[in-house]
Structure 1
Amino acid sequence: MLILDNIISDRGSRYAVAGQPCASEDEAKQLVKELCRRKKFAKATHNTWALLTADAPVKNDDGESGAGMVILRMLEREGVYDHLVVVTRWFGGKHLGGDRFRHVQEAVRIYLEETRLGGKTE
């Protein structure tokens, strides 16, 4: 699994993004479980994720209500199928309000750019 750590920091909260090819919801759950075996990720406040497959879209907010949908929409917009993307947040003590969704979106954008999975070219 490719992990891009400490990519965003805001008011004490820190973000990472990770992902890899994945074909099913069961496989996605197993991959997230493996990610959380790493002590740092196990201690995270949220490990939100999404996966777009031919069968159905799958997402998990992990307590960060709405974050899974943000990831899923970005995968749909870029046409990225069968690839799990996980956005991790370590809460820094100050609420971020709507900025937290902007950070999730930016984390996914960074991941898609780094892996060249995004369907759009500049």
Structure 2
Amino acid sequence: MRMLHTMLRVGDLEKSLWFYTTILGMNLLRQKEYPSGRFTLAFVGYGPEENNTVLELTHNWDVDHYELGNAYGHIALGVKNIFETCELIKKNGGNIVREPGPMKHGKTIIAFVEDPDGYKIELIDLSSRTLK
């Protein structure tokens, strides 16, 4: 088995596609409308679905806002230079909600960006990450 995708429900598909492709640099891999179900699925990621885990953005046509609840945590992305990445995200209109710095109880350098629906994405500086 392998992990295929994670699904996020989004209120405005165009805003979400802009965020994930322009701000985070993912590619739109495929998109399909399901008129009888009144929803659209868009898959985004950094590589082909055949060998990469991707995000499924689900837009239900009759819903423009979701309550995130308190169970959702975040999605994590590894980056080569977290300080440059955060500056680029800000320059392109992204919302950094936690500036880069060490995590509270460790040395790994992290930051958080928020997508248009309020989902948090953790950025992890790969050079500071330890898996121990």
TM-score (normalizing by structure 2): 0.25
Structure with the largest fraction of helix: 1
Task: Please tell me whether Structure 1 or Structure 2 has the larger radius of gyration of its CA atoms.
Answer: 2
In the superposition, the TM-score normalised over structure 1's length comes to: 0.27
Greater relative contact order structure (CA < 8 Å, 6+ sep): 1
